[in-house]
Amino acid sequence: NKYWTIKTTIEDAPKEADFDLKTSTLALSLDPGSKEMIVKNLYLSIDPYQLNRMKSSSSSQKTGGFATGISPGQEIEAFGVARVVASDNPEYEKGELVAGLVTWAEYSKIGSNGIIRKLDPMGFPLSYHVGILGFSGLTAYAGFLEVCKPKRGEKVFVSAASGSVGNLVGQFAKLHGCYVVGCAGSKPKVQLLKEKLGFDEAFNYREETDLNSTLKRYFPDGIDIYFDNVGAEMQEAAVANMNTFGRVAVCGVISEYTDSGKRAAPDMLDVIYKRIKIQGFLAGDHIGLFQEFISTTCDRLRSGELCPLEDISDGLDSIPFAFAGLFRGDNIGKKMVKIAEE
Ligand code: NDP
């Protein structure tokens, strides 16, 4: 069984050379009573937060137990879709599809307390269950509806808007009758947001020298909701342009993951006088919304109101490049790796 691990802890932007492909033997004969399973991974999710787990222990402690640090040599847990190939767990049979925490590997062993569930593809491609119907979808759905509490006609700004979570936040916001502006890091991404995903406006943040005035240009009447995926100076500029009682959902701060010197420092007098609410959240806090999210999203996929945006690399070998690419802005939509045929 081939699996990826890190060579050493990673403190800034990850490179392919930071990873090691290792081989282990994984016996298909499980100890009776162990309730373990072995699954063959089909699609693995590639997520920015993993980088924070790969930092030295002092940094990874900040994940507050949600996603603990990864040590060099250790297998890397990740969300994925897989098929059971051996099972001592009475609830799962060989051949069944599952979704949940597996590893960056061809095959993963799932313990009796593994975070996994049976997967009914409901007629959708398996990749949808990693992206739009998976954790990214729930993050966008719960973060936008529960944290931002949108009202019709409100003005919404989304950063990393062509990414996995961002593109869905924009699409959900449009379905809620909001005015939506997204920013992304290239011209084709900006075009896609406006032409394919229905964003009212979009801009390339790399071409802007003064983000504060850029946001004034796109939001002459101010921002009601900022869905933050990037942190740092974008968050500061967004807060400076917020309306009274505006909401900032801090989903992620990717620009700070690769630069320990970078920290958002929004003007707290703006926050006080405009009564702005800035709230961080974890998708896992909103697992209670999962069924509602799945049924709403499936309906909207079937009606064509939602457009899935996927960016799939092929094969286990491609994982380090795919992962490093998140921090270069390579991906358009949900980044995942196809490990094996269904
Ligand atoms: P994306 O698909 O959005 O991929 C990352 C994108 O971020 C890149 O494509 C790039 O797009 C952009 N980016 C990378 N580096 C920078 C930078 N220095 N400055 C600005 N933009 C940058 O990833 P996800 O949708 O999976 O995640 C988006 C955010 O949400 C991340 O911060 C992640 O950690 C967070 N997250 C939080 C969850 C939660 O429960 N709170 C759950 C899932 C994700 P571009 O070309 O536009 O620069």
Over residues 129-148, the mean pLDDT reads 98
Calculate what percentage of the chain has a pLDDT beyond 70. Answer: 97
Q: Which secondary structure element, helix H or strand E, spans residue 53, and what is its range?
A: helix 50-53
Distance (angstroms) between ligand 1 centre and the Cα of 285 equals 19
pLDDT digits (tens, 9 = 90+) for 233-268: 999 999 999 999 999 999 999 999 999 899 999 999
Q: Average pLDDT over the chain, rounded to whole?
A: 96
pLDDT score of 61? 56
The encoded tokens of residue 226 equal: 């900022």
Best of 165, 211, 327 for a ligand 1 pocket test (most atoms within 8 Å of beta carbon): 165
Q: Please spell the DSSP secondary structure of 269-313, one letter per residue.
A: HHHHHTT-EEEE--GGGGGGGHHHHHHHHHHHHHTTSS---EEEE
Q: Which secondary structure element, helix H or strand E, spans residue 143, and what is its range?
A: none
Distance CA 111, CA 330 (A): 34
Distance CA 171, CA 184 (A): 15
pLDDT confidence bin for 199, thresholds 50/70/90 = very high
pLDDT score of 56? 87
Distance (angstroms) between ligand 1 centre and the Cα of 257 equals 10
Q: Enter the DSSP assignment of 146.
A: I
First CA to last CA distance, the chain: 18
| Residue 232 CA, closest ligand 1 atom number | 19
Over residues 283-292, the mean pLDDT reads 95
pLDDT digits (tens, 9 = 90+) for 55-70: 986 555 565 666 788 9
Q: Which secondary structure element, helix H or strand E, spans residue 86, and what is its range?
A: strand 77-87
Query: Of 312, 324, 330, nearest to 44 (Cα)?
Result: 312
Domain pair 2-131+308-338 / 135-284, same fold: no
- How do the domains of the chain map onto residue ranges? 2-131+308-338, 135-284
| Residue 136 CA, closest ligand 1 atom number | 43
Distance (angstroms) between ligand 1 centre and the Cα of 327 equals 8
Over residues 275-287, the mean pLDDT reads 96
pLDDT confidence bin for 311, thresholds 50/70/90 = very high
Query: Of 291, 293, 283, 285, nearest to 172 (Cα)?
Result: 293
Calculate what percentage of the chain has a pLDDT beyond 90. Answer: 94
Tell whether ipTM is more than 0.90: yes
Predicted confidence (pLDDT) at residue 271 exceeds the cutoff of 90: yes
Residue nearest to atom 47 of ligand 1 (CA): 184
| Residue 284 CA, closest ligand 1 atom number | 40
Over residues 65-79, the mean pLDDT reads 87
pLDDT score of 29? 86
Residues in the chain: 342
Best of 254, 310, 326, 332 for a ligand 1 pocket test (most atoms within 8 Å of beta carbon): 254
Distance (angstroms) between ligand 1 centre and the Cα of 254 equals 5
CATH number of 135-284: 3.40.50.720
Residue nearest to atom 5 of ligand 1 (CA): 326
**Which pTM value belongs to this model?**
0.96
Distance (angstroms) between ligand 1 centre and the Cα of 253 equals 7
Distance (angstroms) between ligand 1 centre and the Cα of 246 equals 22
pLDDT score of 50? 96
Distance (angstroms) between ligand 1 centre and the Cα of 73 equals 26
| Residue 52 CA, closest ligand 1 atom number | 34
Cβ-defined contacts of 209-215 (< 8 Å, 24+): 211/236, 211/237, 212/237, 212/240, 212/241, 215/157, 215/240, 215/241
| Residue 282 CA, closest ligand 1 atom number | 40
What's at 311, amino acid-wise?
D
Distance (angstroms) between ligand 1 centre and the Cα of 24 equals 32
Best of 44, 203, 229 for a ligand 1 pocket test (most atoms within 8 Å of beta carbon): 229
pLDDT digits (tens, 9 = 90+) for 20-64: 999 999 888 899 999 999 999 999 999 999 999 999 865 555 656
CATH number of 2-131+308-338: 3.90.180.10
Over residues 129-138, the mean pLDDT reads 97
- Site residues for ligand 1, CB cut-off 6 Å: 47-49, 136, 139, 160, 162-166, 184-186, 189, 229-230, 251-255, 281-283, 326-327, 329, 331, 335
